Amino acid sequence: MITMDIQFEIKGGDFNQAGKASSKIKNRLKQLDIDPSIIKRVVVAAYEAELNVVAHAYHGIMTALFEPDFITVTITDSGPGIENIEQAMQAGFSTASGKVREMGFGAGMGLPNIKKNTDELKIESKVGEGTTLFFKIYY
């Protein structure tokens, strides 16, 4: 398999477009004939990370790198950043606005779900600047 990467833009606040980048990754993994149980884990993690940009940040770029034995996904956003990453990782912790909760998000389960579904996870954030989330999943 040839190493390849694809990149998508994510617009903060745009719930109509939310999930588009993740579904493109899903299609590519299907084309590559990756095991469905692996595809599911990648899509859950990518979707939650994408939704976090839509719900909490202003603008983001998602980059998926398809390697022979694994995929890495990096989502870099400009946004408010995360003050306390350890706290944000706790199941149930959420700062989602009332509007975001009305849309059915804000259970505080996205980051724990990403953790559960990935083989490697790194989050870096600067308050007032933005957040970068990186994960890796082996095929």
Ligand X SMILES: Nc1ncnc2c1ncn2[C@@H]1O[C@H](COP(=O)(O)OP(=O)(O)OP(=O)(O)O)[C@@H](O)[C@H]1O
Which residues here bind ligand X, judged by CB under 6 A? 48, 52-53, 55-57, 77, 79-82, 88, 93-96, 105-111, 131
Among 8, 34, 46, 52, which residue sits at the site for Mg ion (rule: CB under 5 A)? 52
Q: Which of residues 74-93 bind Mg ion (CB under 5 A)?
A: none
Residue 115 to residue 90: CA distance in whole angstroms = 10
Residue type, 30: K
In contact, 110 and 51? CB cutoff 8 Å: yes
The residue (of 26 and 110) whose beta carbon lies closer to Mg ion is 110
The nearer residue to ligand X, 34 or 51, going by C-beta atoms, is: 51
Q: In 1-139, where do the E strands start and end?
A: 4-11, 59-66, 70-78, 120-126, 130-138
Interior angle at CA 6, CA 3 and CA 11, nearest 5: 160
For ligand X, the closer CB: 22 or 94: 94
Contact footprint for Mg ion (CB under 5 A): 52, 110
